[in-house]
Amino acid sequence: MMLRVAARSDAGRVREANEDQYAILDLGHGGGTRMIAVADGMGGHRAGDVASSIALKELSEAVRGHSCQDGWLEVLRRGVERANTAVFQMALANEHQAGMGTTLTAVVLDDGHLFLVHVGDSRAYLVRDGDMNPLTRDDSLVEELIRLGDITPDDAKDHPQKNVLTRAVGTRPRVNIQTLSIDLEVGDRIILCSDGLYGLVPDDRMVAALARDGVEVGVERLVDEANQLGGHDNITVVAVEVASL
Ligand code: MG
């Protein structure tokens, strides 16, 4: 598989610090097998920064240390559990980091397949034939309210509690993890992003930016666009194009 990968993370125009992080790991085959991940940390005293960093470090170590014989989904799942334990224990041990946590969305791309693990409200999308297909469900209060029929997706955009997560990495001793695997096609694009991007830039703009400019220029444009629309949160996007299988 040949992959084109591009990423950008930006503090945005309002927040002082950037508590988002991303990771891109080369897992072999000349960069044809990769892990990409996005984490959006939360917590006072800049603890969100600590949570997202630790989560990506633990996940990366778990994934690097294993071969795909174990099955990537299982490797990824164990990596998220390891990240959860590390963040949770550090939060217990440090008063300034009590309650910290992070979203964590990660995929391994290997031999024509995508394997995904997800916790929180960062997102993964598959762009195929010009359509934006969500690969994740937000673990958020507003997503629950939409599912229950209490509010509409439009209400959710300006909901006062739109940042409340129902699940995060590191806030509880155990974590529930969404998983998914799909077969890839040539021309597929995968986008991982934090809410600082998708909360401002509409889906069709994301599809258009990547289709018109390719992933390298596309991610730059998307972050610029989120900043032009206010940039009220940290903005992170990783985009991958499947150039050949
Ligand atoms: Mg955010």
Centre of ligand 1 from the C-alpha of residue 187, in Å: 29
Centre of ligand 1 from the C-alpha of residue 184, in Å: 28
pLDDT digits (tens, 9 = 90+) for 1-23: 999 999 999 999 999 999 999 99
pLDDT digits (tens, 9 = 90+) for 19-66: 999 999 999 888 899 999 999 999 888 899 999 999 999 999 999 988
pLDDT digits (tens, 9 = 90+) for 114-162: 999 999 999 999 999 999 999 999 999 999 999 999 999 989 988 999 9
Centre of ligand 1 from the C-alpha of residue 29, in Å: 33
Centre of ligand 1 from the C-alpha of residue 194, in Å: 6
Q: How far is CA 112 from CA 47, 52, 118, 195, 243, in A?
A: 37, 28, 20, 28, 11
Centre of ligand 1 from the C-alpha of residue 142, in Å: 15
* pLDDT value at 67 more than 90: no
Centre of ligand 1 from the C-alpha of residue 45, in Å: 16
What pLDDT was estimated at residue 70? Answer: 76
* pLDDT value at 68 more than 70: no
What pLDDT was estimated at residue 45? Answer: 80
Percent of the chain with pLDDT over 70: 99
CB atoms near residue 137 (< 10 Å): 13
Centre of ligand 1 from the C-alpha of residue 236, in Å: 9
